[in-house]
């Protein structure tokens, strides 16, 4: 699959991010077939050229064609983008796989970890698409609010695939003069970063909601990055991924940006609102709420210490008081800043050694 061979792109999911990517690709000249879950929204997109549910006020390009069936979105499409919430990813993917063309490229733009299996989306995909080794799985992640992308504001993301050639081909499809795409082979790193940053954003929002200052937020983001990296390395990720766009870049955006749904949920929790009431008022999914449970149990399974993520889980699912959770963090045993980070340093040391060997060989 090269950029010139792609004429139609399938987008599975018509939330704000799916719609933004559909518009971006349509503006590049591709015909974009988009699967829409809600029949009434499908009609609105077709007739009003607007996503009235998830991205109101944004004109949808005429080359974006909405559908409520999977086949028109997947059959005869060499590139298919999965942009559905993580808790329905398996169900939707099971319906997509049978329609995929041979040698199709699937780009996953979903950030989350499945609750029951503790699998990232690539893990879910491997289970469902077993026997379809001809299909190439990629992951797209990075600091990217949908509303800023549709405004064509400069945005930079990363696209990962174990097959670097396929990553580079997909890179060409998505890249524009305002949407810059880097490539990577670290799929699991992108996925862990994209999932954990939403959990940390809930904590950052809660601290802001309780009226804590910039000092608190900066400390939370920094220690959150350490937790994200720690879990990622335990999962086999490359440590440098967490210092890049999918890691620190997306973490900063989600913890500080007013457009962040996860930060907004955390902010309201910090102000004393109940989780059920907050979620009832939201149309779009705050992935961090469900992911907090997955991250908590995944960390326990792997024996990885994630104190911030653990307290987010307890606030969400065990009715812990956010203020007491902060005091619990502050009152932990005093220690060296790098006590728990030796695995990170060892991984980075291996990377440096590999670079030195590579340079010596040349």
- CATH of residue 200's domain is 1.10.1040.10
Q: Which of 150, 170, 185 is the last residue of a domain?
A: 185
Q: Which of 121, 156, 185 is the last residue of a domain?
A: 185
Q: Give the model's pLDDT for residue 343.
A: 65
Give Cβ neighbours of residue 106 (< 8 Å, ≥ 6 apart): 79, 80, 81, 82, 100, 125, 135, 136, 137, 138
Determine, yes or no, domain membership for 358.
no
Catalytic, out of 197, 268, 293, 314? 197
Which tokens is 281 given? 């008022």
Give how many domains the chain has, as a whole number.
2
Question: What is the four-CA torsion angle of 79, 75, 149, 189, rounded to 10 degrees?
Answer: -50
Is the same domain home to 138 and 286? Answer: no
Q: Which residue has the tokens 């077939």?
A: 33
Q: Give the model's pLDDT for residue 217.
A: 97
The CA-CA-CA angle for residues 181, 241, 27, to 5°, reads: 15
Is the same domain home to 228 and 281? Answer: yes
Question: pTM for this structure?
Answer: 0.93
Is the same domain home to 332 and 251? Answer: yes
Determine, yes or no, domain membership for 331.
yes
Determine, yes or no, domain membership for 357.
no
Q: Give the model's pLDDT for residue 267.
A: 97
Which tokens is 119 given? 């699998």
pLDDT in tens, the chain (362 residues): 444 467 899 999 999 999 999 999 999 999 999 999 999 999 999 999 999 999 999 999 999 999 999 999 999 999 999 999 999 999 999 999 999 999 999 999 999 999 999 999 999 999 999 999 999 999 999 999 999 999 999 999 999 999 999 999 999 999 999 999 999 999 999 999 999 999 999 999 999 999 999 999 999 999 999 999 999 999 999 999 999 999 999 999 999 999 999 999 999 999 999 999 999 999 888 999 999 999 999 999 999 999 999 999 999 999 999 999 999 999 999 988 887 666 666 766 776 666 555 554 54
CA of 44: how far to CAs of 14, 51, 204, in Å?
12, 7, 36
Is the same domain home to 151 and 203? Answer: no
Is the same domain home to 199 and 178? Answer: no
Determine, yes or no, domain membership for 360.
no
197 belongs to the catalytic site: yes
Q: Which of 185, 214, 247 is the last residue of a domain?
A: 185
Q: Give the model's pLDDT for residue 339.
A: 75
Is the same domain home to 227 and 293? Answer: yes
Is the same domain home to 218 and 164? Answer: no
CA of 225: how far to CAs of 192, 195, 234, 345, in Å?
11, 12, 14, 14
Is the same domain home to 200 and 93? Answer: no
Determine, yes or no, domain membership for 324.
yes
Q: Give the model's pLDDT for residue 2.
A: 45
Determine, yes or no, domain membership for 339.
yes
Is the same domain home to 165 and 201? Answer: no
In terms of Cα–Cα distance, which of 146, 154, 156, 150 is closest to 178? Answer: 154
The domain in which residue 289 lies consists of 189-350
Is the same domain home to 290 and 248? Answer: yes
Determine, yes or no, domain membership for 294.
yes
Determine, yes or no, domain membership for 356.
no
Is the same domain home to 12 and 149? Answer: yes
Q: Give the model's pLDDT for residue 150.
A: 98
d(CA 68, CA 199): 32
Is the same domain home to 142 and 177? Answer: yes
At 179 the three-state DSSP class reads: strand
């Amino acid at each position: 699959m090269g950029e010139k061979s792609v004429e139609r792109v399938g987008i599975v999911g018509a939330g704000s991010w799916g719609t933004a990517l559909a518009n971006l690709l349509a503006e590049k000249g591709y015909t974009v077939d988009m699967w829409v879950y809600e029949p009434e929204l499908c009609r609105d997109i077709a007739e009003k050229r607007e996503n009235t549910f998830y991205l109101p006020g944004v004109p949808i390009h005429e080359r974006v064609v909405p559908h409520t069936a999977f086949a028109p979105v997947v059959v005869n499409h060499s590139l298919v983008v999965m942009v559905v919430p993580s808790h329905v990813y398996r169900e939707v993917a099971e319906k997509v796989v049978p329609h995929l063309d041979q040698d199709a490229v699937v780009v996953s733009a979903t950030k989350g970890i499945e609750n029951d299996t503790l699998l990232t989306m690539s893990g879910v995909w491997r289970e469902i698409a077993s026997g379809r080794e001809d299909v190439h799985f990629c992951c797209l992640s990075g600091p990217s609010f949908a509303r800023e992308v549709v405004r064509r504001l400069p945005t930079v993301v990363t696209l990962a695939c174990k097959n670097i050639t396929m990553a580079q081909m997909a890179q060409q499809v998505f890249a524009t003069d305002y949407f810059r795409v880097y490539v990577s082979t670290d799929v699991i790193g992108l996925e862990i970063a994209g999932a954990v940053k939403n959990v940390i954003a809930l904590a950052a929002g809660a601290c802001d909601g309780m009226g804590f200052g910039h000092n608190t937020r900066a400390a939370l983001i920094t220690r959150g990055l350490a937790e994200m990296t720690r879990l990622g390395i335990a999962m086999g990720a490359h440590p440098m991924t967490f210092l890049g766009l999918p890691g620190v870049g997306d973490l900063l955006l989600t913890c500080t940006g007013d457009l962040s749904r996860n930060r907004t949920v955390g902010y309201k929790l910090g102000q004393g609102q109940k989780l059920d009431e907050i979620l009832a008022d939201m149309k779009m999914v705050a992935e961090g709420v469900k992911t907090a449970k997955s991250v908590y149990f995944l960390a326990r399974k792997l024996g990885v210490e994630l104190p911030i993520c653990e307290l987010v889980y307890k606030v969400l699912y065990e009715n812990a008081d956010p203020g007491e959770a902060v005091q619990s963090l502050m009152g932990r045993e005093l220690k060296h800043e790098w006590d728990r980070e030796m695995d990170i340093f060892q991984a980075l040391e291996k990377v440096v050694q590999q670079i030195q060997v590579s340079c010596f060989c040349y």
